[in-house]
């Protein structure tokens, strides 16, 4: 008896298994729609029918059960020679090697005088930039008040279909390139189309998006709609060494910087403004040992104090040092530039002198009377916000330790003037007391911005930009 039951179970299992193996996969579901309806013609469209097993699907089309065409691999078919004001039934049969699936749709042709195409409309281009544009058009109106949808083409490539708004944003364009936009207004009766041509302008400025060095360290920069720097990620080739910088603005003025990521580099810098501009800066950073710089400026920024505070949370010790600073400026090409910076602490005094050629800083005489002569190319330089956390790091276009000795860089980082100063061109050579200290060779893109830099034939950098 047990043997009989076992045989019966195996028979039932094998029968079910064969049924599963022989399951028939028919064409998938699809939809039919009517377009360009007229008194004697109509355009039939349908969505694709997909077989789950990947089998090829073809289509047969019938009108009032009369075969019009078979074996089609397209998704539309125009029917002509119809009778006005007549009822019709269109049937589409999707077919694969396993069977068929059919869908039907009824429609009535129009009277000849009832053919109301979409009305004329105008098209124009607004908000044109080197990489984007907004295409706008007036409303197309049919005399019968029928609904109208719009389709947009860019150089004959479909970019938007069946939309009801009267504008479309085009992005990822190429500067200094000719484009043709076509907008097609469509109702059930037919279409009306308008075209316009435009040329994207040359970029006014390029902003640094990515910088990478030969050691696989990289910097990524993010900007707001006004091209203020709002984010900076510094990635190092050592695991865990990622630093993040965030920037906040009010009326396009920097009000806060925040850094976090690794110990000492965590911090916050606040900027406070009054009727005469910047009044105070508070820069606080660290973890167990907190370092803080507090700047207070007079009304014309010719003098300010810097209070340095060191708090050791392990030992409980606090050290405070007060520095007094006198800044001398000159006006050159309608730009005010710092020419002398004198800092006094107790009986000690340090003075740094600066000299410019146009908008480039060409000479620094540091507090030890070392003379740094700086030469430039005649190309466009990369721009970022220098900021307190960045200090002089990007003032000269690349990382600070490639151009000047660390001691003078530290002095420059404490001078607020250099938080927003940018040279007009790119440094090519630095001499210290007449001796070559740094040499930089560049490769440029077609807009004359650096895309590669080789410093002292050792440190190599690559640059990528966003276009404004």
Write a three-state SS string for the chain: CHHHHHHHHHHHHHHHHHHHHCCCCCCCCCCEEEECCCCCCEEEEECCCCCCCCCCCEEEEEECCEEEEEEECCCEEEECCCCCCCEEEEEEEEEECCEEEEEEEEEECCCHHHCCCCCCCCEEEECCCCCCEEEEECCCCCCCCCCCEEEEEECCEEEEEEECCCEEEECCCCCCCEEEEEEEEECCCCEEEEEEEEECCCCCCEEEEEEEECCCCEEEEEECCCCCEEEEEEECCCCCCEEEEEEEEECCEEEEEEEECCHHHCEEEEEEEECCEEEEEEEEEECCEEEEEEEEECCCCCEEEEEEEEEECCCCCEEEEEEEEEEEEEEECCEEEEEEEEEEECCEEEEEEEEEECCEEEEEECCCCCEEEEEECCCCCCCCCCHHHHCCCCCCCCCHHHCCCHHHHHHHHCCHHHHCCCCCCCEEEEEECCEEEEEEEEEECCCCCEEEEEECCCEEEEEEEEEC
How many other CB atoms sit within 10 Å of the CB of residue 306?
Answer: 20
Contact criterion met (CB below 8 Å) for 173 and 432: no
Terminus-to-terminus CA distance in the chain, angstroms? 86
Contact criterion met (CB below 8 Å) for 44 and 61: yes
Contact criterion met (CB below 8 Å) for 249 and 385: no
DSSP code of residue 370: -
Contact criterion met (CB below 8 Å) for 166 and 137: yes
Q: What is the pLDDT of residue 14?
A: 52
d(CA 417, CA 412): 9
Q: What is the pLDDT of residue 358?
A: 83
Residues with Cβ within 8 Å of 135's Cβ and at least 6 positions away in sequence, in order, are 123, 124, 125, 126, 152, 167, 168, 170, 181, 183, 196
Contact criterion met (CB below 8 Å) for 158 and 151: yes
Q: Give all domains of the chain, ordered by start, each with its CATH number.
A: 25-112 (2.60.40.10), 116-199 (2.60.40.10), 206-467 (2.40.160)
d(CA 275, CA 255): 15
Give the bridge partners for 463, in sequence order. 211
d(CA 301, CA 304): 7
Our measurement of the distance from residue 296's CA atom to the centroid of its chain's CA atoms, rounded to an integer in Å, reads 37
Q: What is the pLDDT of residue 224?
A: 86
Q: What is the pLDDT of residue 389?
A: 55
Q: What is the pLDDT of residue 239?
A: 66
Reported pTM: 0.62
Residue-wise DSSP of 314-356: TT--EEEEEEEEEEEEEEETTEEEEEEEEEEETTEEEEEEEEE
What does pLDDT average to in each consecutive run of 10 residues of the chain (468 residues)? Answer: 46 48 82 90 94 92 96 95 91 94 93 81 94 95 89 96 95 93 91 96 85 79 84 75 84 86 72 89 84 88 88 87 86 65 85 89 91 92 61 47 72 79 86 93 90 85 84
Tokens standing for residue 299 = 């009304």
The Cα angle at residue 102 between residues 97 and 104, in degrees rounded to 5:
160
Tokens standing for residue 407 = 């001691």
Q: What is the pLDDT of residue 384?
A: 56
Quick one: which H or E segment has residue 220?
Answer: strand 218-223
Residue-wise pLDDT tens digits, 110-155 = 887 667 889 999 999 999 989 899 999 999 999 888 889 999 999 9
3-state SS, 132-193, equals CEEEEECCCCCCCCCCCEEEEEECCEEEEEEECCCEEEECCCCCCCEEEEEEEEECCCCEEE
Q: What is the pLDDT of residue 150?
A: 97
Contact criterion met (CB below 8 Å) for 402 and 456: yes
């Amino acid at each position: 008896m047990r043997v009989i039951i076992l045989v019966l179970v195996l028979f039932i299992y094998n029968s079910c298994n064969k049924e599963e193996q022989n399951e028939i996969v028919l064409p998938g579901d699809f939809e039919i729609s009517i377009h360009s309806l007229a008194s004697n013609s109509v355009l039939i469209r349908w969505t694709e029918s997909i077989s789950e097993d990947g089998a090829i699907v073809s289509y047969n089309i019938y009108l009032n059960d009369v075969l019009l065409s078979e074996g089609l691999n397209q998704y539309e078919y125009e029917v002509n020679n119809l009778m006005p004001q007549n009822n019709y039934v269109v049937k589409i049969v999707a077919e694969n090697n396993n069977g068929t699936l059919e869908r039907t749709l009824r429609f009535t042709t129009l009277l000849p005088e009832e053919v109301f195409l979409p009305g004329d409309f105008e098209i124009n281009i607004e908000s044109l930039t080197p990489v984007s544009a907004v295409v706008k058009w007036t409303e197309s109106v049919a005399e019968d008040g029928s609904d109208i949808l719009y389709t947009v083409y860019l150089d004959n490539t479909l970019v938007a279909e069946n939309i009801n708004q009267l504008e479309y944003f085009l992005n990822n364009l190429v500067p200094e390139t000719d484009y043709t936009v076509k907008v097609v207004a469509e109702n059930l009766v037919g279409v009306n189309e308008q075209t316009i041509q435009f040329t994207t302008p040359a970029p006014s400025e390029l902003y640094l998006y990515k910088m990478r060095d030969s050691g696989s360290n990289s910097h990524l920069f993010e900007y707001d709609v006004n091209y203020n720097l709002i984010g900076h990620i510094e990635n190092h080739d050592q695991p865990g060494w990622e630093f993040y910088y965030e920037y906040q603005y009010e009326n396009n003025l920097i009000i806060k910087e925040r850094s976090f990521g690794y110990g000492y580099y965590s911090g916050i810098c606040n900027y406070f403004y009054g009727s005469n501009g910047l009044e105070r800066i508070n820069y606080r950073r660290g973890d167990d040992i907190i370092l803080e710089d507090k700047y207070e400026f007079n009304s014309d920024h010719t003098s300010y104090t810097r209070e340095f505070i060191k708090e050791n949370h392990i030992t409980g010790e606090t050290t405070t040092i007060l520095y007094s600073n006198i800044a001398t400026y000159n006006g050159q090409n309608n730009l005010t530039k710092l020419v002398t910076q004198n800092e006094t602490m107790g009986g000690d005094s340090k003075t740094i002198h600066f000299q410019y050629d146009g908008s480039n800083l060409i000479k620094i005489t540091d507090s030890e009377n070392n003379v740094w002569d700086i030469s430039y190319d005649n190309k466009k330089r990369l721009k970022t916000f220098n900021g307190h956390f960045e200090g002089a790091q990007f003032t000269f276009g690349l990382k600070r330790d490639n151009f000047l000795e660390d001691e003078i860089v530290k002095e420059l980082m404490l001078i607020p003037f250099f938080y927003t100063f940018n040279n007009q061109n790119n440094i090519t050579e630095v001499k210290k007391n007449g001796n070559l200290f740094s040499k930089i060779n560049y490769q440029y893109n077609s807009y004359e911005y650096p895309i590669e830099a080789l410093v002292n034939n050792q440190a190599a950098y690559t640059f990528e930009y966003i276009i404004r």
